[in-house]
């Protein structure tokens, strides 16, 4: 099963995307629908709301009078918290039931207006955000809901900003154009990413990788992409993880790199991630283990063991290197990254070596192996920089 979070600001077109995904075969769980369901007539939720706020929140038919309830909780933090204490557990329980009832090969789309505001992103394999400019949204809200500009601006201002949504988005669906353009984006996303991603998660396999090395110009979004993946891993592993870092070339501003996000998880013992329940949780989260054990190319003649995981998302290549905190491999990954960030001469040398090897049309394995002599040749320089600068892990 693939868990997808879907969100977007008011007037962005989120409902259009949810509808199209349902047509394509997704199981859509709509948080707004559930929020109404749990306080429907005869429900335990409605009974609890009436007990707390009184009969004045009911209309003549015994249905929840939402404007009346809104008037009571608007501007009253205690009343709002009391309402949320009633409804949120019921919504969460019903959501879990619907997820559990979905077929094992489903793409389950959770339509949540406040996904970003509630920091829910790490709970999904992928977060989709539908975006549109404020002017586009104002125009739509006036046309479809009859909102005044002042009312629409107030509603937009109360929600997350576009900057916050972009930071949370694995996929940004632009909806400033015609409806058909948005639907085309959704169709492509479904067939090229969501369906194969679900299959990879279900079969516990990594996403396919290109055979040949392709270097990319620096992408300023790489750090944010890494942060989202690290948040997912930390949510799954809990206190098994001691440190979580973005490493490798995509963690170095200004450096050409393969479009692969490398992450390092520091653990107390490598055996902590060998526990069957941990392995299963990582598989379910989309981080299968293609190799049970692995070793880094050591620089001091000793073994540098690690565990290696790879992402199942065909739209985002991720390598996860699990190493023991304080070990030589763990330390070297952080030290080399920070040296590259600090030393423009060394960074230029590394970029030139990468481009030279990529220009030969090397395979991924050949490329990785061919870089090792350069790493070996600069090991002492990196060590000297660390001593001279007073570098320590975590201090940069």
Half-sphere exposure of 265 (CA within 13 A, CB side): 31
Cα separations (Å) of 322 from 192, 237, 326, 344, 369?
29, 12, 12, 28, 20
**How far, in Å, CA of 265 to CA of 245, rounded?**
7
Half-sphere exposure of 251 (CA within 13 A, CB side): 23
Element at 156 (helix H, strand E): helix 149-157
**How far, in Å, CA of 137 to CA of 357, rounded?**
48
Task: Output the CA angle 345-348-351, nearest 5 degrees.
Answer: 150
Q: Is there a binding annotation on residue 359? A: no
Partners of 29 in beta bridges: 110
Cβ neighbourhood burial of 136 (10 Å; 0-12, 13-18, 19+)? middle
Q: Is there a binding annotation on residue 16? A: yes
DSSP character for 207? P
Q: Is there a binding annotation on residue 12? A: yes
**How far, in Å, CA of 308 to CA of 329, rounded?**
13
Q: Is there a binding annotation on residue 13? A: yes
State the DSSP string of 240-258.
GEEEEEEESGGGSTT--B-
**How far, in Å, CA of 351 to CA of 345, rounded?**
10
Q: Is there a binding annotation on residue 11? A: yes
Contact 286, 293 (CB under 8 A): no
**How far, in Å, CA of 105 to CA of 97, rounded?**
16
Does residue 320 sit in helix, strand or coil? strand
Contact 229, 312 (CB under 8 A): no
Q: Is there a binding annotation on residue 390? A: no
Show binding-site residues for ATP. Answer: 11-16
Show binding-site residues. Answer: 11-16
């Amino acid at each position: 099963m693939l868990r997808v979070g879907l969100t977007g600001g008011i007037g962005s077109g989120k409902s259009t995307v949810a509808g199209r995904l349902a047509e394509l075969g997704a199981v859509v769980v709509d948080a707004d629908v559930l929020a109404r369901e749990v306080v429907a007539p005869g429900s335990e939720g409605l009974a609890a709301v009436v007990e707390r706020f009184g009969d004045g929140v009911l209309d003549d038919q015994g249905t929840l009078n939402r404007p009346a309830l809104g008037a009571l909780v608007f501007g009253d933090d205690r009343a709002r918290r009391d309402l949320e204490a009633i409804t949120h557990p019921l919504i969460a329980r019903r959501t879990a039931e619907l997820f559990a009832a979905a077929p094992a090969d489903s793409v389950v789309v959770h339509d949540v207006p406040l996904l970003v505001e509630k920091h829910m992103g790490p709970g999904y394999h992928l977060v989709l955000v539908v975006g549109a400019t404020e002017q586009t949204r104002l125009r739509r809200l006036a046309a479809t809901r009859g909102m005044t500009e002042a009312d629409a601006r107030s509603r937009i201002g109360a929600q997350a900003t576009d900057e916050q949504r972009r930071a949370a988005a694995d996929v940004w669906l632009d909806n400033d154009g015609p409806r058909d353009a948005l639907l085309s984006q959704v169709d492509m996303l479904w067939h090229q990413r969501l369906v194969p991603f679900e299959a990879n998660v279900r079969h516990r396999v990594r996403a396919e990788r290109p055979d040949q090395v392709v270097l990319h110009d620096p992408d300023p979004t790489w750090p944010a992409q890494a942060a989202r993946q690290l948040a997912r891993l930390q949510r799954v592993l809990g206190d098994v993880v001691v440190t979580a870092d973005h490493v490798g070339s995509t963690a170095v501003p200004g450096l050409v790199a393969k479009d692969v996000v490398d992450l390092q998880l520091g653990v107390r013992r490598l055996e902590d991630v060998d526990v069957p329940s941990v392995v299963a949780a990582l598989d379910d989260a989309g981080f299968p283990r293609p190799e049970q054990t692995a070793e880094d190319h050591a620089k001091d003649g000793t073994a540098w063991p690690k565990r290696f995981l790879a992402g199942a998302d065909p739209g985002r290549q991720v390598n996860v290197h699990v190493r023991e905190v304080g070990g030589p491999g763990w330390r070297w990954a952080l030290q080399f990254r920070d040296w590259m960030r600090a030393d423009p001469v060394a960074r230029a040398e590394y970029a030139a070596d990468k481009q030279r090897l990529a220009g030969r049309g090397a395979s991924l394995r050949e490329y990785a192996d061919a870089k090792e002599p350069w790493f070996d040749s600069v090991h002492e320089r990196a060590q000297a920089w660390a001593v001279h600068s007073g570098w320590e892990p975590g201090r940069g």
